[in-house]
Structure 1
């Protein structure tokens, strides 16, 4: 939505008058513009308000008639510049990483040259004429559109709804037209109005130096050229086209300023807001690259030691999801996730907890194959039942067997599209279901997650729903294809406490009713303990403890980090009453500065000298319970009764 202002109204009204003039001027003053009066270079008079030219033709009439050709050429050149620039700027963000890198570098090179220099080069190649001038200016202005479009598209391409579209296997051209362009349309409209003024000036400049419109045709730039010869005897001959160029450019500037000032501030915040968590992780990882070279040898040694230190718990044969030795590397080479192994059984809710930056979301996005292109993930095993997630997995199976619920419900849906179209997309694309049946199923899915008036909600845009309703709709969308695994990446963090409890109850209901396995990511150990069956504690890119939710709730955690998290968590029951909360001193190490030994050693109360030498091996602490700590002694083996 655009809010009206005086400047915007004045600009639109003024341009409207000029457009009307361009339509009617050749009919009304066309004869006067070509009539040879015999009064060559006549000055200003009642018969000729701006005098006459060298052939005795009325300058005012010629200026008014030239409006049509000038505006047509300007509109065409602006359209060429906008089309080329927008296509190039958005195409790089829906293509592969190599094409993207090449495209961005190409845009940088094109922007480095002044537009008028590029226009002169194109015009010199194509020759003088109106068509050559339009093409030259259109090509010359396209880099500006490409640069802005690429920057805007980058802010949208990393958001959750684009990641979901890619998970669903939406082709690049559909991602471009359905998800990217509608969300960057307002700032591009502002640039179009500003570019119109610049294009008008550039076209007039080409005609002024003889590379634009050729006689007998004429535009404002050509009239300005002929008026230059009589500048000292009849300055009004040059004044008419000069005022026309200036006034039209100023009015276009008013429109651009009005659009920029009146654009919906909520939409602009959405466009310029935070990127997807996976893309943010890439940026954060890149910023930590300064000391990567000095720690490369130590990281390599730590990795080798970790692979041989102790026996890792093996995934059971009935595991639905199996991940073994998952390693995720940033574009700069440092290891963000260092050898994570986990499994999820059918119908099981497995929680992953840890401080921000521990690698929880990166692990989840690697499983869903939603990591940024520049981030590389490797694993010995990465499998969902019989589906190998490391190779070219079937898009249909990947889109229907894994569902993802993101952290921010405001970023989960495309703000430019209605809820119904976004929910039905996966059914229509991967299940081949018709529009009517897909909408019926989507309405039932919304009803199952306790959204009132589901049929009406399908016709609404995301901003018309509350935060809790958007998150429920996101869960409905993820469950619409009846996935075998649901990845919930901090789905309650952005919600208030009451809505958090409702979403957790909904996830429990889905798990009990449908038997859906879940991988639940959170930094809140209390939420994890209340929802999950089994808990994985991550720290600095590694899993440091695995235990049952019952053991966690009962305080039977063994790793010092898990105990510290519990001690820092408020409790409202009798056992926690009156117990002061503690804090964990220090901060987790950056990926590039991860020590060769235990990453928690600098913050641990039980630290020993050899903790700095090698990563601690996993130590068995009970049935389905292990922790990686040098200070722990293995639990005694208890034989079951025959």
Structure 2
């Protein structure tokens, strides 16, 4: 999507907003104030400066609408002439406040943890300090005069603006599309300009416009106290000071500059509301990378991908949170080139967190340890994945930036990693949208995510992953919340993508029926561990772990008798990190014995391509236990 298209769309939304009653009012007020500021000094400057000793301190009359001052000068003309200086100084102070607030508000989300905390703490202290005292302190520091007042009022606005921006960017910076941009290697400046600022535009613009009204009042207050504009210059605050002593004699002379301050402040508020509605997006902490862990020597992989063809290997993968709680407790897996592997389990079993760990997306304060190798590279030493790994999240709206058009978001991948021009990247984005069977891809590329249906958004996220040349696609619950027909379309699309690109697939789901349609091998997770690995062809009748059997029994099929009672698992899954010694499934397992509560079973061989972590698996001879793999090529009985 070109800049011209974006500008045209913005002009359209702005024009539509200006046709509303609030837009017409704001536009009229802005035009009137602007005309007064531009032409007032030209037309009435001489009259405002003319001294008439015969008309000193006169009241309101036909010749002098608001009366005259102590030198016989026309007060109405002076109020009009003062508009230009008042607005100029107010806008300068607003620019200082908004610029400083954006800088201090955004930097904690893109800087390191310590420096970000320091900036946040400083802003918090300044916000806690009474605003009026802070303003007077700054005015004393910068001295009397227009320049000092501009800096004092502008810097006094920085802390509240920075606090607002920090709160807004905290939620935006934790979004999936920001995490994806970090993985893609998008620089800090582009991350801020492209992904953070557009999504906090509406509340920021509205706050800045309303703050401009407050700055106008504050600046007028300083001039009223004699700390702002100095003679022979004058603004509305200084005029109010000059006429305050006559408020009981000629109240119009004192109220005129005050009314100008109030009405112009309202104008700023209306203008901010119009700009926010026309160009903003309502959107509400940045993930801080855990310190790199020294790589450990990988143990042999058990995946069917094979030693030479595995595109992804993880060994003893653990995700730890404060307090020592481990939500993932030592997962080892491998995915071969072009292989489709399913990762299943109940909610809370650690599936999605394992996927985030594989993509280096675990949010702070989670800490990932273990060995991770992707395409032959150690991800613990160099977490940059480029376009070799594509991630399809459960909620596509969290993966797509609501402030950008879909085509623009896809094109950014090609621009950053493939070095393509803006036009080439846009053409590739349209091509990829067509490849995932989105109708009218040229038109759809110019639309925003909210204009897509749920299934089309999921297709767009898949298309984003295909902008490069992915070797692995991690799909985290890609069919959740979609109807059956759309689910089938998404699953067929994933199968086509695998066939066309040769990419491997790691499909995460709690739905065994979905996994059975797409995958060749199934990994079953429970309590942060893989408890069984088996070919998908053995899932229905050859599962050995009681937990896997219960999952299979809980899924009805077309041939299931309507009167058949489906399998249920008593009890509740363990809390993350809440498992003690022994098998984590033992409290819910009908086959559990004393040993199950004391010793944790290892993942051990149970036939060709089949492993199970159970002391008493289903289908084993009475009294037998599986064999433990203790070294490559050697097996011993447990």
TM over 0.5: yes
Q: Distance in 1 between matches of 2:496 and 2:20?
A: 51
2:8 corresponds to: none
1:233 maps onto 2:249 in alignment: yes
1:61 maps onto 2:52 in alignment: no
Q: Distance in 2 between matches of 1:218 and 1:115?
A: 25
SS at match of 1:92: helix
CA contact (8 A) 1:129 1:214 kept: yes
Deviates more, 1:249-258 or 1:153-162: 249-258
1:566 maps onto 2:529 in alignment: no
Find the partner of 1:387 among 374, 377, 381. 377
1:403 corresponds to: 390
Tell me: higher relative CO, structure 1 or 2? Use CA pairs within 8 A at least 6 residues apart.
Answer: 1
SS at match of 1:350: strand
Find the partner of 1:124 among 129, 134, 140. 140
Find the partner of 2:258 among 242, 264, 269. 242
TM-score by length of 2: 0.87
The 5-angstrom pairing of residues 318-333 of structure 1 reads 318=308, 319-331=310-322, 333=324
1:481 maps onto 2:468 in alignment: yes
Quote the offset at 1:343 in angstroms.
0.7
Deviates more, 1:196-205 or 1:490-499: 490-499
Q: Distance in 2 between matches of 1:219 and 1:264?
A: 33
Query: Over residues 485-508 of structure 1, what are the superposed CA-to-partner deviations in whole Å (9 max), with x where a residue is unaligned?
Result: 111121111422211111111111
The 5-angstrom pairing of residues 289-308 of structure 1 reads none
1:370 corresponds to: 361
1:344 corresponds to: 335
Name the CA shift for 1:208/1:332 in 2 (closer, same or farther; >3 Å): farther
Find the partner of 2:201 among 185, 188, 193. 185
Find the partner of 1:317 among 286, 304, 307. 307
2:502 corresponds to: 515
Gaps of 5+ in 1: 283-309
Q: Distance in 1 between matches of 2:413 and 2:267?
A: 46
1:606 maps onto 2:621 in alignment: no
Find the partner of 1:36 among 51, 63, 71. 51
1:288 corresponds to: none
2:106 corresponds to: 90
Name the CA shift for 1:82/1:532 in 2 (closer, same or farther; >3 Å): same
2:636 corresponds to: none
Query: Over residues 263-302 of structure 1, what are the superposed CA-to-partner deviations in whole Å (9 max), with x where a residue is unaligned?
Result: 799x53xx24xx99x99xx9xxxxxxxxxxxxxxxxxxxx
Gaps of 5+ in 2: 1-12, 291-298, 618-623, 634-638
1:353 maps onto 2:344 in alignment: yes
CA contact (8 A) 2:127 2:159 kept: yes
Name the CA shift for 1:421/1:64 in 2 (closer, same or farther; >3 Å): same
1:160 corresponds to: 176
The Cα RMSD (Å) is: 2.8
1:47 maps onto 2:34 in alignment: no
Name the CA shift for 1:160/1:124 in 2 (closer, same or farther; >3 Å): same
Quote the offset at 1:333 in angstroms.
4.1
Quote the offset at 1:313 in angstroms.
4.6
The 5-angstrom pairing of residues 124-273 of structure 1 reads 124-256=140-272, 267-268=281-282, 271-272=283-284
SS at match of 1:357: coil
Query: Over residues 520-552 of structure 1, what are the superposed CA-to-partner deviations in whole Å (9 max), with x where a residue is unaligned?
Result: 111212211221111111122211211111111
Quote the offset at 1:72 in angstroms.
1.3
SS at match of 2:434: helix
Q: Distance in 1 between matches of 2:149 and 2:545?
A: 72
SS at match of 2:522: strand
Q: Distance in 2 between matches of 1:487 and 1:443?
A: 23
Quote the offset at 1:353 in angstroms.
1.0
Deviates more, 1:311-320 or 1:145-154: 311-320
2:600 corresponds to: 615
Query: Over residues 112-147 of structure 1, what are the superposed CA-to-partner deviations in whole Å (9 max), with x where a residue is unaligned?
Result: 123322222222111111121111111111222212
Query: Over residues 41-65 of structure 1, what are the superposed CA-to-partner deviations in whole Å (9 max), with x where a residue is unaligned?
Result: 2223332222222222111211111
CA contact (8 A) 1:12 1:255 kept: yes
Aligned length: 596
Q: Distance in 2 between matches of 1:447 and 1:7?
A: 42
CA contact (8 A) 1:354 1:537 kept: yes
Find the partner of 2:445 among 445, 458, 467. 458
1:527 maps onto 2:517 in alignment: no
Quote the offset at 1:87 in angstroms.
2.2
Q: Distance in 1 between matches of 2:598 and 2:209?
A: 63
CA contact (8 A) 1:571 1:577 kept: no
CA contact (8 A) 1:619 1:634 kept: no
CA contact (8 A) 1:324 1:342 kept: yes
Query: Over residues 297-337 of structure 1, what are the superposed CA-to-partner deviations in whole Å (9 max), with x where a residue is unaligned?
Result: xxxxxxxxxxxxx9995784122211000111224542221
Name the CA shift for 1:332/1:170 in 2 (closer, same or farther; >3 Å): farther
SS at match of 1:65: helix
CA contact (8 A) 1:621 1:634 kept: no
Q: Distance in 2 between matches of 1:605 and 1:341?
A: 27
